[in-house]
């Protein structure tokens, strides 16, 4: 029976929806020569294998790509396990782990997943002194031991920091780095692949071509950048076929330049997800250091935290999450109690007055 005959036979069947499916029209993609765009009808209880029996090879191949694609909007950010408007989320990072900390890392990963964290962040340079690739190998070992911990999780990694250079985003280096990360992580595809820092000696067109090739070859599901200026990001984006899905930046109540240098404005304007590393300023916001530059910030956080009945940690993270970008804070604590305490920020919504009070404490002056 032909595909058209299947469609005609489906009419009148109460189990079949009357909504047409036109994949080429939906995606805006140009249909390959000889391909058609008939009004396929999908069962309300959709079974891909059953539908595949329609034996329309061109449409099946295209539809697989459509279903696996990550849209560049709020839905796409949610699919990456990152925050969207109305849904603040956390990520968990492995930059503090050595390769041999399997038991501790497994415990924290289990707690993170139980707490609703789906986005796991690492990089090829993480792993402690002399441990290049160590954090990725650690995740690979945990996956082999407890694969269930990764069910539904998004794993993001970064490359481009080269020992002795310090940066290398050439096509040969990044391609080899991605392949090495795949091997260490024990996966066939990296969900989100970041360029760790901009390499001033690689032309953005070369970097764009490299990233596009990683996506087209199936080695990377989505691409992102880390620590780029708005100009750096734009220069690469102009040459890309695939969108930049995420930008990982340093942002906290102690580090606020992204509010004013265009980084967060660019992300909101282009629909780019934002993840913040060091959201507690490497612990300096929660440390009790007297009379330093962050003392006014700590005092303000303490006052606001007391009002909300949470810790200074939760108040500091609530500052990060209050921004409308929205921003996903990457947590890196290796202590279960601190992770649970950090997650209490999800229940705190700072008022405008509170958020600006923290910002003004960091700036050292009132907003104009």
- Residues acting as catalytic residues: 126
Residue in 325, 326, 315 with CA at minimum distance from that of residue 349: 315
Residue in 320, 324, 325, 315 with CA at minimum distance from that of residue 347: 315
Residue in 327, 178, 154 with CA at minimum distance from that of residue 249: 327
| Neighbouring C-beta atoms of residue 348, cutoff 10 Å | 21
Residue with tokens 């696996």: 68
d(CA 245, CA 24): 23
Between strands 40-43 and 273-277, the pairing is unpaired
| Neighbouring C-beta atoms of residue 15, cutoff 10 Å | 8
Contact yes or no for 95/282 (Cβ under 8 A): no
d(CA 4, CA 38): 8
DSSP at 248: E
Burial of 314 (0-12, 13-18, 19+ CB in 10 A): buried
> What 3-state class would DSSP assign to 221?
strand
Give me the residues paired with residue 226 across strands. Answer: 248
DSSP at 35: -
Between strands 327-331 and 273-277, the pairing is parallel
């Amino acid at each position: 029976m032909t595909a058209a005959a299947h469609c005609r036979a489906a009419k009148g069947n109460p189990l079949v929806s009357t909504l047409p499916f036109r994949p080429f029209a939906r995606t805006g993609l140009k249909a390959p020569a000889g391909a058609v765009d008939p009004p396929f009808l999908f069962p309300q209880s959709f079974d891909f294998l059953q539908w595949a029996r329609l034996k329309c090879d061109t449409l099946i191949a295209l539809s697989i790509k459509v279903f696996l694609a990550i849209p560049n909007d709020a839905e796409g950010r949610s699919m990456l396990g990152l925050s969207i408007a109305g849904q603040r989320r956390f990520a968990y990072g492995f930059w503090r782990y050595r390769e041999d900390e399997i038991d501790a890392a497994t415990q924290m990963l289990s707690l993170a997943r139980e707490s609703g964290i789906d986005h796991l962040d690492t990089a090829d340079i993480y792993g402690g002194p002399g441990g290049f690739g160590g954090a990725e190998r650690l995740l690979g070992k945990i996956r082999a031991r407890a694969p269930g911990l990764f069910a539904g999780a998004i794993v993001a990694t970064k490359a481009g920091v080269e020992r002795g250079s310090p940066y290398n985003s050439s096509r040969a280096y990044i391609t080899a780095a991605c392949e090495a990360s795949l091997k260490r992580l024990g996966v066939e595809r990296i969900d989100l692949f970041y360029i760790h820092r901009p390499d001033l000696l690689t032309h953005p067109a070369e970097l764009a071509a490299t990233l596009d090739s990683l996506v087209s070859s199936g080695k990377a599901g989505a691409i992102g950048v880390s620590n780029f200026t708005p100009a750096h990001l734009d220069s690469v984006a102009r040459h890309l076929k695939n969108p930049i899905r995420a930008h990982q930046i340093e942002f906290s109540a102690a580090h606020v330049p992204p509010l004013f240098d265009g980084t967060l404005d660019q992300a909101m304007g282009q629909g780019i997800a934002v993840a913040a590393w060091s959201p507690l300023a490497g612990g300096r916001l929660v440390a009790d250091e007297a009379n330093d530059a962050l003392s006014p910030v700590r005092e303000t956080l303490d006052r606001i935290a007391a009002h909300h009945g949470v810790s200074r940690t939760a108040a500091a993270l609530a500052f990060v999450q209050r921004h409308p970008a929205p921003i996903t804070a990457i947590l890196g604590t290796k202590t279960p109690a601190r992770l649970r305490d950090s997650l209490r920020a999800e229940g705190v919504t700072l008022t405008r007055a509170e958020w600006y009070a923290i910002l003004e404490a960091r700036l050292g002056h009132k907003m104009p």
